[in-house]
Amino acid sequence: MAFNGTRRVVITGMGAITPIGNTVEEFWNNLLAGVSGAAPITYFDASEYDTKFACQLKGFDPLKFMDRKLVQRCDPFTHYALAAAEMAVADSGVKFESVDRDRVGVIWGSGIGGMQTNAKQQQTLWESKGPHRISPFFIPMMISDIAAGRISMKYGVKGPNYATTSACATSSHAIGDSFILIQRGDADIMITGGSEAGICEMGIGGFNAMKALSTRNDAPTKASRPFDKERDGFVMGEGGGAFILEELGHAMKRGAKIYAEVSGIGFTADAHHITEPAPEGEGAQRSMRIALKDAGLPPESVQYINTHGTSTPVGDKNETAAIKKVFGDHAKKLAVNSTKSMIGHLLGAAGAVESIATVLSIVHNKVHPTINQVVPDEECDLNYIPNTARDWKVDVAISNTFGFGGHNASILFRRYIG
């Protein structure tokens, strides 16, 4: 598709708010250094919870990106969205007064939306014993699409504008939809990505009830251990990641720098189980194959896969099996890592933030480690870049994200060649 006469789509800006860095540069440097963002929860008293730690943001101040009134009228997931988008816009160098704003759109995803706002307003209702104390901003603070709306209002851009919600695949779907809209000629620039702020009483409590989270409370920094035999669940993270996607000719005309090209996407469903992946990652296999076909590339062209890699017993095993099925003997030659080993699981924001790591691997020809690789698992036997970053020539890479409900998304990035 991308090389059969349709419009080519490139990345001209990125922004990141993560548990190990509140800029793209800080995030990347800490990834290469193998820094864990996990620590005891400070947002609330977690002493009675099975899991008492998470990958919280450190030192993030929304007032650096918006005024106090706007801070008060937005849920944290929207704070992260506005901050990441602002950094991506600045990084791209685009001046919206100089482009057709009707052809600039925003697709922004959140798997849960304003969970913290919802919990606080419910508490207000219960404590006041009546509905009249509920904030008039409750609904517009909570709904998942509000981040896309807020971004568009900030920049006055009037192209396609909506939210995606597909659990952990959310922001990969946002990026993929933005790619499609530019390809088909509906936009020249898309601001896209995702954000999540689920570290709260209901978030931790809900995932604990599912037995999805690690309970390694004695060693939080060792808890997220994708593909390690002693993995016992994922670690909750928060933050946001943003891309500026742009039609190639439009980017070249304004002299924009180009990080990489989005060349293929693959979206599938497992149709299997509400939380567990299909056996041998059957849906993931198809999403990767579709992304390769969309880009017009053979499996052997790929050097690196940034996995979903959540650190769950079933998920990691099935993703490994899927990679082997798709890539055959070439699977052993791939660099395969998990960004979640350091930042935890950002839920709806995972795809965007992990795609930034994927793109930077192409830019720098380096792949970050999967930390906490200690005990080998015979069912997870690929090169997960254990514990130490590696120099690695990367021209073509895939980022995988898979969500509850059986949603699978694979995005193929490649080095830009004019």
d(CA 387, CA 362) in angstroms, rounded, equals: 20
Cβ atoms of 412 and 263 within 8 Å: the answer is yes
Whether residue 368 lies in the annotated active site: no
Distances (CA, A) of 334 to 22, 60, 85, 239, 320: 29, 35, 32, 28, 12
Q: How far is CA 384 from the centre of its chain?
A: 19
Residue of 55, 74, 79, 168 marked catalytic: 168
Q: What six digits make up the tokens of 345?
A: 């699981």
Task: Output the DSSP codes for 41-55.
Answer: --SS--TTSS--EEB
d(CA 283, CA 322) in angstroms, rounded, equals: 8
Burial class (CB in 10 A: 0-12, 13-18, 19+), 70: middle
3-state SS, residue 246: strand
d(CA 270, CA 152) in angstroms, rounded, equals: 33
Residue of 345, 368, 380, 407 marked catalytic: 345
Residue of 79, 173, 308, 407 marked catalytic: 308
Whether residue 345 lies in the annotated active site: yes
How many CB atoms lie under 10 A from the CB of residue 171?
Answer: 36
Whether residue 132 lies in the annotated active site: no
Cβ atoms of 4 and 252 within 8 Å: the answer is no
Cβ atoms of 399 and 277 within 8 Å: the answer is no
3-state SS, residue 249: helix
d(CA 40, CA 52) in angstroms, rounded, equals: 6
Dihedral in degrees, nearest 10, Cα atoms 137, 105, 360, 367: 70
Supply the residues annotated as catalytic: 168, 308, 345
